[in-house]
Amino acid sequence: MSEAALRRGVQAAASVFLIAAGMHAAAHYRSYLDRAAETPARAALRRTLEAYEVLPAWHASAWTVLCMFSLCFALLLALAGTAYWWMGKELPAPRLRPLASASALLCFLGAALVAALHPLPQPVAILGLAGLCFALGSALARR
């Protein structure tokens, strides 16, 4: 029973990452690509950020950098979710247990750091919920 709880905890954390990846990808499209839904204030902000070149040799503006980081965040969430799902399914329990514990600690520390430095609900919720799933799976596996 404890191995099953461990696997469910890791796969639940993987699900958090995969769902967040899909939600962020949709928000990315709406925020950066969908010009039809753009308000005048957002259009003014986009033009201002497009005018500021971060890497002039590559013609990369601040807008391009923000778009790239947003897209990379969605891709990394999808990658983490896929990797944890696979590991939760295939990795032997003695190797999965320390991974779940370390992942819980890293998620909780990351959530606390984000909450302290740049308190935004989305990353704090993603890291906190994934950390809780890892911690519960790891704790229930020890019983």
16 pLDDT higher than 90: yes
User: Hunting for tokens 């944890």 — which residue is that?
Assistant: 84
81, 121, 74, 106: CA torsion to nearest 10 = -40
The CA distances from residue 39 to 34, 47, 114, in Å, are 11, 12, 29
143 pLDDT higher than 90: no
Least confident of 12-21, 29-38, 66-75, 81-90: 29-38
pLDDT in tens, 98-109: 999 999 999 999
pLDDT in tens, 26-67: 999 999 999 898 899 999 999 999 999 999 999 899 999 999
